[in-house]
Structure 1
Amino acid sequence: MKKEEVPHDKKIIHGEDNSLVKVLYVTDQQGKYETTQYEGWEAENLAMSQAWDDIDERIAQTREKVIRGEVSPIAYFMEKNLMDLPTLASYVGSWKFFVKKHLTPSGFKKLNASKLKKYAAIFNIPVEELTHFKG
């Protein structure tokens, strides 16, 4: 794609400040490759916006489940960090079976300090945020 052909449609990207800009490789007037900033095109931005809306809805639903005591705070932070069970289990270095237990309130209450630290480190939050969930 030539640099002057790069679309710059109105941004509808997720986030409060809409500051997401991508880099695209283009050819200049001499045919050499260079990079240019790219805000996307309307169809791409709309699809991304819809995908982020779905993700935000799943995060909110999981938050409500934590507040109701149906799942542990680990489930919320797993969802918020766009992780699935196999991914989280690999980061924790544990079997999926054990991580699945930790997603339940009863399993979460049995976690020792070192496991809580490990989860907090993976989610990049303080242990207190995990143990005293405020949503």
Structure 2
Amino acid sequence: MKKDEVPQDGDNLHHGTFKQLFYAVDASGDYTPVSSVGWEPENVALGQAWEEVEHRVEATRGKVASGELSPVAFYMERTLLDLPLLARKVGKFQWQVKRHMKPAVFKNLSADMLAKYAAVFGIAAETLQKGELLPFQRPE
């Protein structure tokens, strides 16, 4: 791709603040770094992906509020983690983390276990223990 052909469709998810680095051929035939704010199909796809993430987070919030799941499930969705990765990060087996997503089991977790989860989720242990569900924000 030539330097002047790098997409600059703008109106990306971060209103032009998000830039990607591409390498394009300049006038002398050498590769040169060029920043781009994206192109429309990519921006649409990213927007749809973020909408899906927001939907999953809000659906999990509802399940926590109704007592079906514990805050561990909500914060796992909110931080874009999956079960295998969360289990690795807190040093537990997947079945143990899945069990911690049950409200009855969650309320009996030790302070140390709550602290491990809180560290992974980037929140205070007290926030997790109280079941406070912080709002989801797309990363910048």
TM-score (norm 2): 0.87
Cα RMSD (Å): 1.5
Paired position in structure 1 for 2:113: 115
Segments of 5+ residues of structure 2 without an aligned counterpart are: 134-140
Query: What CA distance in whole angstroms lies between the structure 1 residues aligned with 2:12 and 2:24?
Result: 23
Query: Scaled by the length of structure 1, what TM-score is found?
Result: 0.90
Report sequence identity in percent.
43
Q: Deviation per CA, 1:49-88: give whole Å up to 9, x if none.
A: 0111011010011111111111011101100111111111
* Aligned-residue offset at 1:112: 0.2
1:112 alignment partner AA: S
**5+ residue gaps in structure 1?**
none
How much does 1:125 deviate? Answer: 0.8
The structural deviation recorded for 1:10 is 3.1
Aligned to 2:136: none
| Number of the residue aligned with 2:41 | 43
Aligned residues: 133
1:101 is aligned to: 99
- Is the partner of 2:112 in helix, strand or coil? helix
2-structure distance, mates of 1:132, 1:81:
18
Q: Which amino acid aligns with 1:4?
A: D
